[in-house]
Structure 1
Amino acid sequence: MERFKDTREDIYSFQNEFLVRCPCCNSCAIVRCIDPDKVDLFAPRRFSCTACGSSKDWSQKKIESWYSEALDNYFHYPLWLQTSCCGETLWAYNLQHLEFIEAFVRAKLRERKAHELHGWSNQSLFSRLPKWIQSGKNREEIIKAIAKIRESVVTLT
């Protein structure tokens, strides 16, 4: 039986890199920290597209989070990793985020335990995923949608 254990990763754990749709050429581009050693939420970011050479920098002290929309938090470009699924939009910031969602969905047993100091909380992405993703009845459709998203990445290489 496939098992998923909550690692207490939150949505911020996946925001060091975003695969986005380039607004200039519609290809897959990337938004990531300019300095790989400085990866906090407000670290300067760079958008870059290898297909057309587009580039843009972000360095502010305020971001707008778009958790319910398939956009990056810095330039607000559409995410590359997205598709329709179960009447909703399934999206991921990057491949690691997609792998997290896939591991969660595939698991028939999902385990969670209280934090040693803080007890039960719902800050982890595990507890914050939308109900339609958490529902076992959508498992097969979501797994097919994830495969479709992966194909969009494979065709890039």
Structure 2
Amino acid sequence: MRFADPGVSLYALAESAIQVVCPACQDRAEVVPWLDGQPRSPYSIRWPRRLVCRACGHVRGRPGEAQHVISCWGGPVDPYFRQPLWLRADCCGNRTLWAFNERHLDILESYVGARLRERGERPGMTMVARLPGWLKSAKHRSEILRVIGRLRASLSP
């Protein structure tokens, strides 16, 4: 199996809904862009966001311009509200495997499952290029793929 780096950043993955744990009911909620008729900034990190839970109706908003100052990227919490990600699990010892959404899971699964991994046009600048060494290691492949399968199953209604 072959993998070619799609050149996607975490910021690009966050342009879609981010799956999080609802702070009110602990069910699955989403952090979504909420432009509400406003013009889009070319930088998605500055878009207003809204946390929405379909299970309990909890809603929380965040204005766009303030977000980039307090955002938190690169861990098992969403970068805007700092809620735990829905798609996170212990893996390979004391490590945490996490993903923002199904597209993020798809990329991780394709990367980990591939025997041949090709770098993209912007080496070092993509989400894949910045993955931790334990996730890139072939010796962890089967465990990581098993955990990704469990995370994917948690997305089913």
Q: Answer yes or no: same fold by TM over 0.5.
A: yes
Secondary structure of residue in 2 paired with 1:41: helix
CA RMSD in angstroms comes to 1.7
Q: Which residue of 1 aligns with 2:128?
A: 126
* Cα offsets for 1:17-76 (capped at 9, x unmatched): 210000110000000101388371111000010111100100125232231x20001110
Q: Which residue of 2 aligns with 1:105?
A: 112
Corresponding pairs, count: 148
CA distance in 2, matches of 1:63, 1:42: 11
1:150 lines up with 2:152 in the alignment: yes
In the TM superposition, 1:14-53 aligns within 5 A as 14-16=13-15, 17-35=17-35, 38=40, 40-53=44-57
Retained in 1: the 8 A contact 2:72–2:82? no
Amino acid at match of 2:90: S
* Cα offsets for 1:113-157 (capped at 9, x unmatched): 5x3xxxx64111121001011001100000000011111111xx2
Q: Which residue of 1 aligns with 2:141?
A: 139
* Cα offsets for 1:87-138 (capped at 9, x unmatched): 211000001011110010010000125x3xxxx6411112100101100110
- Which residue of 88, 91, 108 maps to 1:85? 91
Q: Where does structure 1 lack aligned partners over 5 or more consecutive residues?
A: none
Q: Where do 4+ consecutive residues of structure 1 move more than 6 Å?
A: none
- Percentage of identical aligned residues: 37
Amino acid at match of 2:2: R
CA distance in 2, matches of 1:4, 1:63: 34
TM-score, normalising length from structure 1?
A: 0.88
Q: Where does structure 2 lack aligned partners over 5 or more consecutive residues?
A: none
